[in-house]
């Protein structure tokens, strides 16, 4: 028996991979299947699940409502569709802004003297490793009516003799956008840096020798070669932004409800796991569709592991 095991490469591989595969099967695959099953169920009066097959949770999510104002039997209620749309557009905007901010910084580090690069990267890692919740809290303090941003603005306006009333920035969609950009910025800087750093300097020299100016070199050499990093960064930013609920919870208050908040409330406050599961499946499908088309267009960089 032992002898056979020693000789069978395939059996050895199976045994080595078994613990991880079982672990992931039990705690990732089965939960996903279970979520799917629950999403077709109905909520029991005590907040549990009655296993049946109904599409009610999905029709409700996409706007079918029986609770109508003028006595109609059914009508369209855009509440949940709006939440899905808001999450999607916030994720797009966050990703775009993050790319805009991350690219120059990554470029700066990649073109820095090799001895200085580690220091600049170190400066990116500190905010990245500071806890997610703490980073949201930091923005809560800055954006408050009495917070530092208003104090500095007030001081500047006073200097310029312009009347100034503190801005209400906290609990607005803008606050959530800023918080999201801040949270996920390092996840874009690192992969872009990794792909920029791989570009060899002779390439730049060749471009210059062939008469390309700085802008042309950037557009024809740097940008295309850094695309794998941008793609990897986009996946690392877009997917978590779609599902995060802390940022909107703390910085958006009751004003900005995203699909993450919707799901969380179904499981904790509203106690309707069936509706929460349906919302969570739709969230997963949305991110998978976007990721699929995006990676099919631009490829799937290995930079994703680096970050």
Subset of residues 164 to 183 that bind another protein, contact rule: CB under 8 A? 182
User: Which residues 106-135 are close enough to bind another protein by CB under 8 A?
Assistant: 107-108, 111-113, 118, 122-127, 129-135
Which range of residues in 58-66, 67-75, 139-147, 163-171 is near another protein by CB under 8 A? 139-147
Contacts of 70 (CB under 8 A, 6+ apart): none
Q: Would you say 277 and 39 are in contact if contact means Cβ atoms under 8 Å apart?
A: yes
Q: Would you say 196 and 151 are in contact if contact means Cβ atoms under 8 Å apart?
A: no
Among 61, 84, 170, 185, contact with another protein (rule: CB under 8 A): 185
Gap between the Cα atoms of 6 and 8, Å rounded: 6
Shortest Cβ 156–another protein spacing (Å): 15
* Rounded-to-5 percentages of helix, strand, coil across the chain: 75, 5, 25
Identify the bridge partners of residue 81 per DSSP, sorted by sequence position: none
Number of Cβ within a 10 Å radius of residue 190: 23
For another protein (CB under 8 A), the number of binding residues is 94
User: Which residues 283-302 are close enough to bind another protein by CB under 8 A?
Assistant: 283-284, 287-288, 291, 302
Is residue 99 near another protein by the rule CB under 8 A? no
Q: Pick between residue 16 and residue 75 the one whose CB is nearest to another protein.
A: 16
Contacts of 3 (CB under 8 A, 6+ apart): none
User: Which residues 253-282 are close enough to bind another protein by CB under 8 A?
Assistant: 260, 263-264, 267, 273, 276-277, 280-281
Shortest Cβ 100–another protein spacing (Å): 9
User: Which residues 57-76 are close enough to bind another protein by CB under 8 A?
Assistant: none
């Amino acid at each position: 028996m032992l002898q056979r095991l020693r000789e069978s490469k395939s059996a050895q591989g199976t045994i080595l991979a078994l613990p991880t595969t079982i672990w992931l099967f039990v705690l990732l695959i089965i939960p996903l299947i279970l979520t799917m099953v629950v999403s077709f169920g109905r909520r029991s009066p005590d907040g549990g699940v009655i296993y049946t097959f109904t599409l009610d949770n999905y029709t409700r999510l996409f706007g079918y409502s029986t609770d109508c104002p003028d006595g109609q039997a059914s009508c369209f209620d855009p509440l949940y569709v709006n939440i899905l749309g808001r999450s999607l557009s916030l994720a797009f905007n966050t990703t775009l802004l993050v790319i805009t901010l991350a690219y120059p910084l990554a470029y700066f580090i990649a073109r820095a003297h090799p001895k200085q690069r580690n220091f600049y990267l170190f400066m990116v890692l500190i905010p990245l490793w500071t806890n997610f919740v703490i980073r949201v809290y930091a923005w809560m303090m800055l954006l408050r009516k009495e917070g530092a941003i208003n104090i500095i603005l007030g001081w500047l306006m006073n200097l310029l003799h312009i009347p100034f009333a503190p801005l209400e920035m906290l609990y607005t969609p803008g606050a959530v956008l800023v918080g999201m950009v801040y949270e996920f910025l390092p996840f874009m800087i690192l992969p872009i840096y990794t792909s920029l750093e791989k570009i060899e300097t002779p390439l730049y020299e060749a471009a210059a020798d062939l008469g390309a100016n700085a802008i042309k070199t950037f557009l024809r050499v740097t940008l295309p070669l850094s695309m794998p990093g941008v793609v990897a960064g986009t996946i690392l930013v877009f997917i978590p932004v779609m599902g995060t609920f802390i940022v909107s919870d703390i910085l958006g208050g009751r004003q900005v409800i995203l699909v993450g908040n919707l799901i969380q409330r179904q499981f904790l406050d509203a106690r309707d796991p069936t509706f929460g599961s349906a919302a969570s499946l739709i969230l997963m499908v949305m991110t998978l569709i976007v990721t699929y088309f995006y990676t099919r267009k631009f490829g799937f960089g290995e930079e994703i592991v680096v970050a």
